[in-house]
Amino acid sequence: MSAKRQKIRYPSASDSGGRGESSKPVVGGIEASTAKSRPESPATSSEQLMEKICERDNCLQALKRVKSNKGSAGIDGKTVEQLPAYLKEHWPAIRDQLLSGTYQPSPVRRVEIPKPDGGVRKLGIPTVLDRMIQQAVLQVLQGKWDVTFSPHSHGFRPGHSAHQAVAEAQQYVREGCAWVVDLDLEKFFDRVNHDRLMAAVARRVADKRLLLLIRAYLKAGVMENGLVGTTEEGTPQGGPLSPLLSNLVLDELDRELGRRNHCYVRYADDCNIYVRSQQAGERVMRSIMRFISNRLKLKVNEQKSAVARPAERKFLGFSMTAGGRKRRIAPKSLLRFKQKVRKLTSRTKGIGIEQVAKKLTSYLRGWKSYFGFCETPSTFRRLDEWLRHRLRAILWKQWKRGTTRFTKLCELGVNRGLAARTAGSPNGVWRLANSPALSYALPTSYFDSLGIPRLYTGK
């Protein structure tokens, strides 16, 4: 679905059997959700998927993708640079194991990374060989399965993006859905039921060798602190195949939401349902929580989930103004931005401004490519002003002595009287960083010359 959505018409009460609160909008006269009418790509007994997975071109493409993604080594210590030489020597034997259904993956290496909102996210890093095999499997299965998934699911899918998900949510709000049921699945990737997942895979895959391989990856185990533990549930984040399997698990939720004719959008385990009243939202919340618990065997995090106005919630880093008129950057996302910039521009590290600029430029470009999707340019203007203020403070701190500061200001064109008053001022670094002398000596063009991109590029 493109971010520029077709005009949405809500059906009348007679069209939806009187279920006006959460009725599904109609796009171009056709019900927007087609997930319930699409085939589930049923498996056929004649499938020979493992041969397709092991084809030379597919494996070379998988190897190229793994090398481009880089990433750290698994438990065997092998890097992506070492993988081609290893495959040249061992691939015939590995291929035979895959085709005979006897290949056994290595355990994944446990890595914990901090979450933006606190806590840690546990990743499982497979060996580079297992990453290549998973990528080869993904390339064959994704093309077969993706066309059967809901158009309202946008996470980890070719042709879909977080921006499309946000734009779709905004459109629901603009069309009158004034309340959102914001669902947060608690530790989703760690709690996927293996038996339910394999049953869903078996409905789409008949090749028993592939079924054995996927289950082997689920059961491969995790190495932590030098010890290998078993994995009885969950799909460890970190492998190429995990996102596709997670979408398969939540496809059942998509189908249920489509069957109930709800307006919803999902990105991985972030799911928002849009309704027209608080009462409808609370009713939907109770009902969907029961479905997720009883049918999917998953758990909703009640502390992070809520029925609220869309402007009060964030979705994929964005929030909205009243009525969905504009997309804006969520307050928590702005806070994380400032925390990251403070870390990159710490005044106590003693590194040169050129090195600071290099690190900062890389971060700013990536951040802007995502959050540039917002519709409130004044936010970027304010961030630019704050960022330049902070960079001036770094330089003022680095110049240290009054004589050095006086000399630098004069070299940068400040008249001697103003330079002397500023260099001898008892005011603190942050206050002086916004003084007339430093604003003149270090204008925006100076930071442009260092290659630091502006967030706001309008007039």
* pLDDT tens, residue by residue, 243-282: 999 999 999 999 999 999 999 999 999 999 999 999 999 9
For tokens 């008249």, what's the residue?
A: 415
Highest-pLDDT range among 16-20, 46-50, 111-115: 46-50
Radius of gyration for the chain, computed over Cα atoms and rounded to the nearest angstrom: 27
**Would you state the pLDDT for residue 383?**
97
Q: Give the DSSP H or E segment for 291.
A: helix 278-294
Query: Average of pLDDT values for 420-440?
Result: 94
**Average pLDDT in the 70-77 region?**
89
Nearest one of 361, 365, 330, 331 to 345, comparing CA atoms: 361
User: DSSP letters along 54-103, please?
Assistant: T-HHHHHHHHHHHHHH-----TT---TTTHHHHHHHHHHHHHHHHHHT--
Give mean pLDDT, residues 229-252. 86
User: With contact defined as beta carbons under 8 Å apart, do 327 and 168 qualify?
Assistant: no
- Residues written for the chain: 459
Predicted confidence at residue 11, as pLDDT, reads 34
User: What pLDDT does residue 33 have?
Assistant: 40
Q: Give the pLDDT confidence score for residue 189 in this predicted structure.
A: 83
Residue 447 has pLDDT above 70, yes or no: yes
- Of all residues in the chain, the percent with pLDDT exceeding 70 is 88
Which amino acid does the sequence have at 312? Answer: E
Kindly state the tokens that stand for 226. 């030098």
Number of alpha helices (DSSP H) and beta strands (DSSP E) in the chain: 18, 13
Using DSSP bridges, classify how beta strands 108-114 and 222-224 pair: parallel, antiparallel or unpaired.
parallel
Among 25, 7, 5, CA closest to 15: 25
Mean pLDDT estimate for the chain: 87
Q: DSSP alpha helices (H): ranges in 156-277? A: 162-174, 188-191, 194-202, 208-218, 242-259
Of residues 281, 260, 272, 287, the one with CA closest to residue 16: 260
Both tokens of 91, joined, read 């691939």
β-sheet bridge partners, residue 271:
183, 266
Phi, psi of 209 (to 5 degrees): -65, -40
Classify 395 as helix, strand or coil. Answer: helix
> Which pLDDT value is given to residue 35?
41
The answer, yes or no, to whether residue 26 has pLDDT greater than 70, is no
Q: Strand 263-267's sheet: what is its strand order?
A: 263-267, 270-275, 179-184, 306-308
Q: What is the pLDDT of residues 358-381, one digit of tens each?
A: 999 999 999 999 999 999 999 999
Name the pLDDT band for 10 (thresholds 50, 70, 90): very low
Question: Is a pLDDT exceeding 80 seen at residue 231?
Answer: no
- The mean per-residue pLDDT over the stretch 85-97 comes to 96
pLDDT > 90? residue 126: yes
Predicted pLDDT at 235: 80
pLDDT at 12 over 70: no
- What pLDDT band is residue 402 in, cutting at 50, 70 and 90? very high
pLDDT digits (tens, 9 = 90+) for 134-181: 999 999 999 999 999 999 999 999 999 999 999 999 999 999 999 999
Rounded Cα–Cα distance for residues 209 and 50 (Å): 7
DSSP-derived 3-state class of residue 242: helix
> pTM of the entire structure?
0.83
| pLDDT above 60: residue 209 | yes
Q: Is the pLDDT of residue 40 over 90?
A: no
Predicted local distance difference test score (pLDDT) of residue 114: 76
- Per residue in 310-363, pLDDT (tens digit) is 999 999 999 999 888 999 999 999 999 999 999 998 866 667 888 889 999 999
**pLDDT in the model for residue 450:** 93
Q: What is the mean pLDDT of residues 400-417?
A: 94
283: amino acid identity, one letter: R
Question: How far is 104 from 174, CA to CA, in rounded Å?
Answer: 51
The answer to whether the beta carbons of residues 184 and 270 sit under 8 Å apart is yes
For 79, 81, 181, 199, the CA distances from 85, given in Å and listed in that order, are 11, 8, 51, 37
Give the pLDDT band of residue 36 (cuts 50, 70, 90): very low
Tell me the average pLDDT across 429-451: 94
pLDDT number for residue 41: 63
